[in-house]
């Protein structure tokens, strides 16, 4: 009987096999009146029975080993389904709720900032309109100030040469 290992779906299974030693037996001289033939027949039946027994033992150990591997895998699957996955789903739900709340806070903050800017723009526009009305009332021409050449105020000859 020889032993080996077979890998089935990542599970190492023991495998038994029958092999002959090669020793020849001389059964012809055994017994009287054809007893050697009966002993040879019994020997052949014993060999066939032994081969079947070895196959049976190999299958039984394979079944037991696969059964244990299945139990371990089922425990892992149950742990994932009943513990790990619900815990991860809870964390994901919490993160989603927090992100929604942060989005609502940002939206509210943005609306407040926009309303403050609009109020400041209204005040600025009112001040500008009041200033324009005041200048118009004094008789100053607003357009003359815009038509004045701004480059006339600067003289390029005043600059010193810059050497790099």
What pLDDT, on a 0 to 100 scale, did the predictor assign at position 142? 46
H/E stretch holding 5 reads strand 2-8
Name residues whose C-beta falls within 8 Å of residue 55's C-beta, 6 or more positions apart in sequence: 16
Query: Minimal CA–CA distance to 14: which of 3, 27, 30?
Result: 3
Each residue's pLDDT tens digit, 46-79: 889 988 998 898 888 888 988 999 999 999 999 9
Characterize 39-56 residue by residue with b for buried, 16 or more Cβ atoms within 10 angstroms of its Cβ, and e for exposed.
eeeeeeeeeeeeeeebee
Residue 139: helix, strand or coil by DSSP?
Answer: coil
Most confident of 59-63, 69-73, 91-95, 153-157: 91-95
At 153, the pLDDT band (50, 70, 90 cuts) reads low
Give residue 75's pLDDT.
93
Percent of the chain with pLDDT over 90: 40
Tell me: the pLDDT tens digits for 12-49?
887 877 777 766 565 555 556 666 778 878 888 988 99
pLDDT at 28: 52
The answer to whether residue 102 scores a pLDDT higher than 90 is yes
In the DSSP assignment, the letter for residue 80 is I
Structure-token pair, residue 121: 């723009």
């Amino acid at each position: 009987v020889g032993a080996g290992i077979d890998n089935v779906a990542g599970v190492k299974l023991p495998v038994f096999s029958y092999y002959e030693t090669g020793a020849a037996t001389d059964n012809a001289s055994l017994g009287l009146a054809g007893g050697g033939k009966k002993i040879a027949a019994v020997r052949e039946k014993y060999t066939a029975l032994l081969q079947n027994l070895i196959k049976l033992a190999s299958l039984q150990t394979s079944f037991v080993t696969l059964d244990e591997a299945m139990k371990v895998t089922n425990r892992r699957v149950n742990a994932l389904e009943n513990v790990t996955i619900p815990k991860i789903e809870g964390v994901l739900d919490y993160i989603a709720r927090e992100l929604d709340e942060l989005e609502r806070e940002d939206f509210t903050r943005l609306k407040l900032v926009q309303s403050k800017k609009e109020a400041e723009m209204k005040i600025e526009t009112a001040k500008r309109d009041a200033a324009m009305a005041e200048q118009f009332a004094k008789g100053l021409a607003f357009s003359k100030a815009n038509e004045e050449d701004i480059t006339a105020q600067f003289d390029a000859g005043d600059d010193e040469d810059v050497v790099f």
